[in-house]
Amino acid sequence: MAQPSSEKTPSVYLYIPNIIGYFRIIINFIAFAVSSTFGAVLDMVTDSMFLSGKTSHKDVKDTGNWLLKLYYGHRPFMAFSCVASEVLYIILFLFADEKSTSLLNVCRCFLKGSPLTFFVFISTLVGWALKQVINIIQY
């Protein structure tokens, strides 16, 4: 008969994948603030798991959080959040000029633009914000 291990298991919050997730969230906020190419690529790489065809990588049946249930339970909402986040990074990169890397200057371009570009910007910003909140909740 096997003897029970006397080693103490670490808290789930200290597991390596969770620590990586914490850094991912911090880096996403930093990358968004500076609108860097690195940030856009980092977000695409970290979200590549959604392309694998899985229905969900988290079991949220027992969670009481309505936002996580909405995110993983309704594919259109998940798709909107993921796509909006990626599109926001792309349009910020495309609208940034070489003279200034300030996020505020890039956002001003959208405020001065047509109603369509303003609507696209606000929609993608909302999707990006929802995705970041969901990332924080699930970790």
> pLDDT by residue (tens digit) across 8-20?
777 777 888 888 8
Closest CA to 48 of 57, 61, 36: 57
Answering whether pTM is above 0.85, one says: no
Q: Which of 43, 47, 59, 62 is catalytic?
A: 47
Task: Kindly report, residue by residue over 26-53, the tens digit of the pLDDT.
Answer: 877 776 677 756 655 656 656 654 544 4
Over 90: is that where the pLDDT of 123 sits?
yes
Is 110 in contact with 124 (CB distance < 8 Å)?
Answer: no
Is residue 47 flagged as an active site residue? yes
- Weakest-pLDDT range from 48-57, 96-105, 127-136: 48-57
